[in-house]
Structure 1
């Protein structure tokens, strides 16, 4: 099977867009399935209390911080598999090193991940009750965190190789496991124990276990994503660290910063925090579209960079950026048109819905900008320039979002303040990413 995604700069935009959509669509659907899982978890626990909604939502945000450690293995594996595939080299060493690194990173988290996460939540402003419920939710997830990290490495290898359909099928299988087991365990249906918030955590853990089993089946019996040659080349390991460490730092610091930011909202009470989490879940449909195209842009960039097809790289990325901005712009219009209806899908509390409507209208205005920032960031990562997104994302988050929010909250104590600066920061970050990408690509073509 030829998985090379080389772009002809003389090809029409529509043809390139079709290639990118074919690559990105399974990724988008996989991530939308994850969004559905998160949404169903929120909906299921909303019958317990608004504090349960806040705890599950905030725990999911904190898990982004924990999973940032996985970025070292995930990004290194995905980018190197893409580059080696584009160059016609065996991608096995990148995949094998990725599996080993992911296991070694995850192992310590099995023992202290829950305590670390809930400690940070309290430090960032969450109430003791939110932290207590979060601990129950996180316990089963961290018990099998090594399984989750290894599963993500398989996912990275498939994406880098250009096979995005197989991970989608597995993601669909995992979603069924997650939702069904969460339903049975949260409220104790059909003789299962009633675990409430903890049941939602077991839904996540069980889905990861069955997901890894599915990936192992494809590898052992179908020889996918590619035939494995057991080779641990030292230079590949060094490249994984060179590419992956900046991304791990970026995601770790950005995620930690994001939770500092969420702490500003949490300081206005559990209802404001619940509104923020509901808003994130609604917005995540648009975000996951951008995230899917960002992964596609990394694969397109990586494979064309590996093949030294620099003009094709630039043509493919520009097409992807404009297409993604158009789609996310339409999503923004939808958020502005139906913010109350969308919020009511997750929660019935009128005060929470009222605040969530403000959130959705504000973030809707920055959806196209988020698209451009995502695609240019993905393109830079595909070229192995992961230190640039590290610098841009951290600097932008603090100087354009957190610090201005902190200052203006002294004058206008309202959760609307951080939400407004969140939208402003996204716009400014997109501009910076555009010029950074153009500077790099202009030196190649």
Structure 2
């Protein structure tokens, strides 16, 4: 099969890298930087869409915000399942088994499509009622539903596109996924502008035009990834059979592996919304400050999280190739040292944001800027335990220990972060800097649980693929 992995030696990947040797810093960086840029572009699409819609006024922005809250939840669950598929593909890529790669891909695709069908059915059944119940006016509710009805196309395109992207990421081909976003981003912007405002003879669709622009971009990205997938593997048509001799049995195993990752995302989303509702009880200036800093925390911390994700991909490949303990230890030691360097860079970016806040947000009141400034001690500390925990979590997931990772996240969130946020805000009425410091405290709570489980070393002997 020309271009497929069947022509590659069992101990090497598509780039000829020997999976039985410890990967180098450049190997991890080669996987991490496209993941970072991809994540930045994903955030950029959201910012650009909001900017384009802002020309239509506050009502249009409110409508998009309502619809995006529902659509974002569906996409987030989809991304979580795709992350699980990415790990399963990396494991089978390390084992150099085409049957395993085929099984992991199609199981992931089935799970993605099933989750989307269930999600869309729930939106059809209850989405209108939810939006009508929270929308301040009937006009905003109508615009939100118009946006959401079109955005369903994006969700279905992403169900396929994310699975294709997971295949390339799991095989270490993160540049292919990055290029798909590089192609889709300008298409999204141009199509949205044209359809929002009705330029060049196109219909003027308003808020729904932004959804159509996203749909065109998502379908284009899916088509590009599908073409690359077909060129390399011919859709695995030449590969017979499934692992465990049954697609149903393989699908069950894939589901058992995947659902804790999706449940972790859902729990984190609900917990975040609970905290935001609590933050709303602070003063207007404090709430504005913490609302402004949260997107920066997410965007600037992308590189550290992408490094951990790249580490998890390589660990999964190494476990699939059944590398020895010395090889795994050497690689993880290298990845950890580099993760602390990445954390230092992220901390420097955070400090720069704090220092530049009077210029970035020149129109804000002095009290809001002062609250924003006092976030800097937390921001300087946060990337280090967060990065180390991420390395542990991705490594454990790569070894199939997804349930333990879920339990650690849920325990820290629901037994510590959410209750402590309520205590700090609703009972003690502490300044916003102390409330924000709970982000570091939450990572410190998870720190011993993650590291003790990793240091036990049982993950090094995990049998992640079929014999």
Taking structure 2 as the reference length, the TM-score comes to 0.80
Q: Residues of 2 paired with 1:51 and 1:312: CA distance?
A: 57
1:32 deviates by 1.6
Deviations 1:159-209 (A, max 9, x none): 112211111111111112222233334455555555554444333333211
Contact 1:87–1:303 (Cα < 8 Å) also in 2: yes
Q: Residues of 1 paired with 2:25 and 2:196: CA distance?
A: 43
* Residue 288 (str. 1) matches residue 302 (str. 2): yes
1:247 deviates by 0.9
Cα distance change, pair 412–192 in 1 and its aligned pair in 2 (3 A): farther
Cα distance change, pair 342–19 in 1 and its aligned pair in 2 (3 A): farther
Match of 1:12 in 2: none
Match of 1:335 in 2: 350
Q: Residues of 2 paired with 1:181 and 1:81: CA distance?
A: 34
> Max radius of gyration: which structure?
2
Matches within 5 A, 1:381-420: 381-410=397-426, 411-412=428-429, 416=433, 418-420=435-437
1:276 deviates by 4.9
Match of 1:183 in 2: 193
* Residue 437 (str. 1) matches residue 467 (str. 2): no
Among candidates 16, 33, 37, match of residue 45 of structure 2: 37
Among candidates 113, 119, 130, match of residue 109 of structure 1: 119
Matches within 5 A, 1:33-432: 33-47=41-55, 63=71, 65-70=73-78, 73-90=81-98, 91-113=101-123, 128=136, 132=141, 135=145, 137-190=147-200, 192=202, 195-223=205-233, 229=239, 231-232=241-242, 233-234=246-247, 235-267=249-281, 276=290, 278-309=292-323, 310-339=325-354, 341=356, 350-351=364-365, 354=369, 357-358=372-373, 361=376, 362-410=378-426, 411-412=428-429, 416=433, 418-432=435-449
Which range is displaced more, 350-359 or 192-201?
350-359
1:313 deviates by 2.4
Q: Residues of 1 paired with 2:388 and 2:95: CA distance?
A: 27
- Give the secondary-structure state (helix, strand or coil) at the position aligned to 1:284: helix
Q: Residues of 2 paired with 1:202 and 1:58: CA distance?
A: 17
1:303 deviates by 1.0
Contact 1:110–1:144 (Cα < 8 Å) also in 2: no
* Residue 8 (str. 1) matches residue 13 (str. 2): no
Taking structure 1 as the reference length, the TM-score comes to 0.83
1:365 deviates by 3.1
Cα distance change, pair 94–222 in 1 and its aligned pair in 2 (3 A): closer
Which range is displaced more, 148-157 or 424-433?
424-433
- Give the secondary-structure state (helix, strand or coil) at the position aligned to 2:401: coil
Q: Residues of 2 paired with 1:42 and 1:375: CA distance?
A: 33
* Structure 1 unmatched runs, 5+: 10-14
Deviations 1:278-316 (A, max 9, x none): 433323332321232232122111111112213322322
Q: Residues of 2 paired with 1:24 and 1:138: CA distance?
A: 33
* Structure 2 unmatched runs, 5+: 1-7, 463-467
Count residues with an aligned counterpart.
Answer: 437
